[in-house]
A = this chain, B = another copy of it.
Amino acid sequence: MPYYIGDVIKDEKRMVARTAEQHKKRGVDVKLNTRVDEIDTDKGVVRLSDDTTMPYDYLVMGTGGNAFLPGIPGQDLEGVFTLKTLTDAIRMKTYIHEKRCRKAIILGAGFVALEMSEAMRTLGIDTLIVYRGALPARRWDSEFSEAILEEMNTNKVTFVPHTKPVAIERGRGFLLRLITGEGEMEADIILIALGVSPNIKLAEDIGLQIGETGAIQVDPSQRTSREEVYAVGDCCEAYHRVSKKWLHFPLGDVANKQGRVAGQNVGGSSMTFPGIVGSQSFKLFNLEIAATGLDEEEAAASGYDPVSNIIWGNPIAASLAASLPGLRKLGLKLVADKSTGKLLGAQAVGTENVVSRINALSVALWAGMDLDEIGYLDFAYAPPFSGAWDPIHTAAQILKRKL
């Protein structure tokens, strides 16, 4: 399902244009393809790339993130891409078709790198993931990363671990060559997917407070250190309800929520963003992969005394599971606090009903539930969707005994 570089792009372009149109009808001036070059906080105006200025009473910064670059020679060669904007995706897709790409190298093994490996394979492109670490999907337990690696292998995505890129050059057999500490490999396209850092240039220019994470500091109403300036999305921090820390957690749903909160406040309604619990998911071929809350390391760093377990249960009733080919066990990891018994985090991987479990646990985490409560939660049980005891119940009850 190559949804980042597939035909949905056309729809998204239409959507952006339509949204701009709708805003204009309501008296909101939308300037597409225009950059803010400078903010003059004394005069309360922004200077635009078309050399005009616009006045403001309130300013909402949604400057997003910048794709991390490895800082190696050749990272700006034709055929080397990062994926941040819609335009990046369109450019990449055009390049793939025009150059008839047969082979791709992806640097990084986070969720965007993995999603893109599926997109490449769907287009019939040989795909290598080159990563400095041992296993993909670092946020997840190594037991789950092994399952993810297996899914990559099944779908002919080659994983090259323990490998650092050194330079990119023009290739011989293919268009590009990646030089690494461990040798060379060639491909027609190289995607750099090493994560994002907050884009805080304008924020720094006007002296906004920057958090320890490197992202713009905001309060729960999304206001920055300047009363009239708000920040939302990948450029700013978000409050994590479990770690009780302000983090940089650049995900689209968080950005949407923060945007609405800032909009409400600018519009005169007082509203606060209740924070996040760190929920996240992605799909990789036939696997669903999801997580919420903290892992043991993060929990310990937040002052908890973490204890955890992993179970492999049936995503649907055991009596039905046997008759469904391709269905695999659902891996579920819970992390809890030893002294209070409270849930601190959860991770899951499997072919079905994975995100479903993590979403239910996200709500439990949000509400601050302990393992006793989670072990007896009332779910909508029917054999096609779970056993009478859900893996969530089982995992909670088993972990409870470890407290």
**Using a CB–CB distance below 8 Å, which chain A residues touch chain B?**
1, 3, 6-8, 11-12, 15, 111, 251-257, 273-283, 288, 290-292, 317, 319-320, 322-323, 353, 355-356, 358-360, 362-364, 366-367, 369, 373, 376-386, 388-389
Pull 22 A–B residue pairs with CB atoms less than 8 Å apart, ordered by A. A1-B320, A1-B384, A3-B319, A3-B320, A6-B323, A7-B323, A11-B319, A11-B322, A253-B389, A255-B388, A273-B376, A281-B382, A288-B384, A291-B380, A292-B378, A292-B380, A355-B386, A358-B380, A360-B362, A360-B363, A363-B364, A366-B378
| Residues of chain B contacted by A359 (CB below 8 angstroms) | 356, 359-360, 379-380
**Are A251 and B8 touching (Cβ within 8 A)?**
no
Query: Known interface pairs A366-B377, A379-B359. Does A253 touch B283 (Cβ–Cβ under 8 Å)?
Result: no
How near does chain B come to A211, taking the closest CB pair, in angstroms? 19
How near does chain B come to A210, taking the closest CB pair, in angstroms? 24
How near does chain B come to A218, taking the closest CB pair, in angstroms? 15
**Are B12 and A283 touching (Cβ within 8 A)?**
no
**Are B378 and A276 touching (Cβ within 8 A)?**
yes
Please name 6 further chain A to chain B contacts, defined as beta carbons within 8 Å, in addition to the given A3-B383, A291-B380, sorted by A numbering.
A251-B381, A279-B378, A279-B380, A281-B382, A353-B356, A367-B369
**Are A253 and B388 touching (Cβ within 8 A)?**
yes
| Residues of chain B contacted by A360 (CB below 8 angstroms) | 356, 359-360, 362-363
How near does chain B come to A363, taking the closest CB pair, in angstroms? 4
**Are A388 and B252 touching (Cβ within 8 A)?**
yes
**Are B319 and A380 touching (Cβ within 8 A)?**
no
Query: Known interface pairs A274-B373, A363-B367, A369-B367. Does A379 touch B253 (Cβ–Cβ under 8 Å)?
Result: yes
| Residues of chain B contacted by A275 (CB below 8 angstroms) | 378
**Are A288 and B385 touching (Cβ within 8 A)?**
yes
Query: Known interface pairs A323-B8, A380-B362. Does A389 touch B276 (Cβ–Cβ under 8 Å)?
Result: no
How near does chain B come to A256, taking the closest CB pair, in angstroms? 5
Question: Once the chains are docked, how many angstroms separate the CA of A291 from the CA of B382?
Answer: 12
Question: Once the chains are docked, how many angstroms separate the CA of A359 from the CA of B360?
Answer: 6
| Residues of chain B contacted by A389 (CB below 8 angstroms) | 253, 256
Contact for A376 among B111, B257, B317, CB less than 8 A = B257
Question: Once the chains are docked, how many angstroms separate the CA of A253 from the CA of B390?
Answer: 9
Question: Once the chains are docked, how many angstroms separate the CA of A266 from the CA of B379?
Answer: 26
Among residues of B, the one whose C-beta sits closest to the C-beta of A387 is: B253
**Are A380 and B366 touching (Cβ within 8 A)?**
no
Question: Once the chains are docked, how many angstroms separate the CA of A290 from the CA of B379?
Answer: 10
Question: Once the chains are docked, how many angstroms separate the CA of A6 from the CA of B323?
Answer: 11
| Residues of chain B contacted by A353 (CB below 8 angstroms) | 355-356
How near does chain B come to A216, taking the closest CB pair, in angstroms? 20
How near does chain B come to A27, taking the closest CB pair, in angstroms? 22
How near does chain B come to A350, taking the closest CB pair, in angstroms? 13
| Residues of chain B contacted by A252 (CB below 8 angstroms) | 381, 388
Query: Known interface pairs A1-B320, A319-B12, A388-B252. Does A381 touch B283 (Cβ–Cβ under 8 Å)?
Result: no
| Residues of chain B contacted by A367 (CB below 8 angstroms) | 363-364, 366-367, 369
Question: Once the chains are docked, how many angstroms separate the CA of A6 from the CA of B281?
Answer: 35
Question: Once the chains are docked, how many angstroms separate the CA of A369 from the CA of B355?
Answer: 21
How near does chain B come to A108, taking the closest CB pair, in angstroms? 17
Question: Once the chains are docked, how many angstroms separate the CA of A307 from the CA of B277?
Answer: 29
Question: Once the chains are docked, how many angstroms separate the CA of A123 from the CA of B383?
Answer: 19
Question: Once the chains are docked, how many angstroms separate the CA of A349 from the CA of B100?
Answer: 44
**Are A385 and B283 touching (Cβ within 8 A)?**
yes
Question: Once the chains are docked, how many angstroms separate the CA of A364 from the CA of B8?
Answer: 33
Question: Once the chains are docked, how many angstroms separate the CA of A319 from the CA of B10?
Answer: 10
| Residues of chain B contacted by A255 (CB below 8 angstroms) | 388
Among residues of B, the one whose C-beta sits closest to the C-beta of A279 is: B380
Question: Once the chains are docked, how many angstroms separate the CA of A251 from the CA of B388?
Answer: 9
Among residues of B, the one whose C-beta sits closest to the C-beta of A240 is: B378
